[in-house]
Amino acid sequence: MQITTGKGINQLRLNERIEQLSRIGRIGETGVCRLALTPEDMDGIIQVRLWMEEAGLATRIDPFGNLIGRLEGTDPTLPILMIGSHIDSQPYGGRYDGAIGVLGALEVVQCLMENGIQPSMPIEVIAFCDEEGSRFNKGLFGSRGMTGQLEEGELERQDKNGVTRCEALQAFGCSVEKFAEGVYATGSIGSYLELHIEQGPVLESLDAPVGLVTGISGPLWLTVTIKGMAGHAGSVPMAMRHDALAGSARVIAAFDDMVRADPDAPTVGTVGSLRVFPDSRNIIPEEVSFTVDLRDMEMERRNQLEARLMNVLDEICSQHGLTYSLTEDTNSEPRYCAERIQAAIRSSAEEMGLPLPELMSGPFHDALALSHVCEYGMIFVRSKDGISHHPSEYSSPEDIALGTEVLYRTIRQMCSRLPADIESSD
Ligand SMILES: [Zn+2]
């Protein structure tokens, strides 16, 4: 297989920047802790801003804490082509999550400029504030903020030390009074592209360095509470028990089986948290709550599975003399990547002789927020052993360079054509 990168991105510069950024907030040998709106996050933003300015971009930090570097187009009235990701991390995170998307985007735009390409539309490179949601327990803050999707009470959310998001933003130099000015007008963003590590094992299993994302799957989050009756573990005969944990275990196992039933479907289902009351070794469990996370690219299939889960709950609870209640915590629909951006990514990879498997994204990304205001596309880079949100997270410099080169060629295609041309080539 001959993969050609031609006169494209500067792999050395890109990798040096990734390495340098990863030393800010470094924990241990390879870990990173840059929680949103902390001094480490600010140090990262200052560094990336310097690189943006070095490249010739006009930079600003918006009221939501997003760092934006802008390259003007020949036609300032055209909608913005936005490229980015985030540089905040999990508390015990890795070097690549988010970082490659921001530094990759910067490399792409710097390369355009070095090759004398001036886009028709303005291009903005963005490092979104608080994608991870680790500190205030709610993510995609910057990307939801600038697209007008914040919810009530977001500024009052507190971190572990009682610092509110509002206080953290102010300490970061952001004026929350200016939120309204920071929201992009409807239609002002034309498209959004994001390069990200896969954070899963699919590309590695296919022996592919880069993949095309077809969409971000829609998660359904439920909390199920099953109620039985407590009793002494030594005295209540088995036939007379209403054991909420034994019932829950059967429901959870049945759920796992039903999600696995179609091995070709991308459906994933997880019960990740369980609470047992009274949680004592010699008391029959009276009440159990557990979470359900169900994701799929097809709403119909996801809805069918949800209905089957309800049947299983009915059946198992009635067999064991239990009752149950449900709350729906999140219910978002899958968001599909724009066909024409997917086509541009495909043809870029083809030019390079690079195989390009297609996959869905299970995790959220800033692209999810942007998908509500513009068309979007995503490129994944292979993750070693599928590990992410952990210091051992790894993507090779060669794979990252290939992903960035695909992004570069895609952006070059998109920005050298007027929107009218693109429309007519659909
Ligand atoms: Zn990320």
Q: How far is the CA of 52 from the centre of ligand 1 (A)?
A: 20
User: Given this model, what pLDDT does residue 101 score?
Assistant: 98
Average pLDDT (185-208) is 97
Res 298 pLDDT > 90:
yes
Q: Are 270 and 260 in contact (CB under 8 A)?
A: no
Q: Is the peptide bond before 263 cis (omega within 30 degrees of 0)?
A: no
CA distance 60 to 142: 14
Q: How far is the CA of 8 from the centre of ligand 1 (A)?
A: 25
314 annotated as belonging to a binding site for a ligand: no
CA distance 357 to 206: 8
Task: Provide the 3-class DSSP secondary structure of residue 111.
Answer: helix
- The kind and range of the H/E element at 292 are strand 287-296
Residue carrying structure tokens 């993949």 = 211
Q: How far is the CA of 1 from the centre of ligand 1 (A)?
A: 30
- Mean per-residue pLDDT of the chain: 94
CA distance 320 to 85: 48
Confidence of residue 415 (pLDDT cuts 50, 70, 90): confident
86 annotated as belonging to a binding site for a ligand: yes
CA distance 298 to 308: 16
pTM to 2 decimals? 0.89
372 annotated as belonging to a binding site for a ligand: no
Neighbours of ion ligand 1 (CB under 5 A): 97-98
User: Given this model, what pLDDT does residue 85 score?
Assistant: 98
CA distance 395 to 387: 10
CA distance 367 to 357: 20
Q: How far is the CA of 99 from the centre of ligand 1 (A)?
A: 8
Task: Encode pLDDT of 5-49 as tens digits.
Answer: 556 999 999 999 999 999 999 999 999 999 999 999 999 999 999
Gyration radius of the chain over CA positions: 24
Q: How far is the CA of 92 from the centre of ligand 1 (A)?
A: 13
| Percentage with pLDDT > 70 across the chain | 96
Confidence of residue 214 (pLDDT cuts 50, 70, 90): very high
Res 79 pLDDT > 60:
yes
CA distance 362 to 412: 28
132 annotated as belonging to a binding site for a ligand: yes
Q: How far is the CA of 104 from the centre of ligand 1 (A)?
A: 13
Task: Provide the 3-class DSSP secondary structure of residue 123.
Answer: strand
389 annotated as belonging to a binding site for a ligand: yes
For 103, list phi and psi in degrees, rounded to 5.
-70, -30
Angle at 390 between CA 367 and CA 135, to 5 degrees: 65
User: Given this model, what pLDDT does residue 240 score?
Assistant: 96
Q: How far is the CA of 46 from the centre of ligand 1 (A)?
A: 19
Task: Encode pLDDT of 373-388 as tens digits.
Answer: 999 999 999 999 999 9
- The kind and range of the H/E element at 400 are helix 397-415
Name the residue type at position 53: E
Q: How far is the CA of 130 from the centre of ligand 1 (A)?
A: 10
Name the residue type at position 347: S
User: Given this model, what pLDDT does residue 222 score?
Assistant: 94
Domains of the chain: 11-216+334-424 (3.40.630.10), 218-331 (3.30.70.360)
CA distance 328 to 308: 16
CA distance 420 to 215: 25
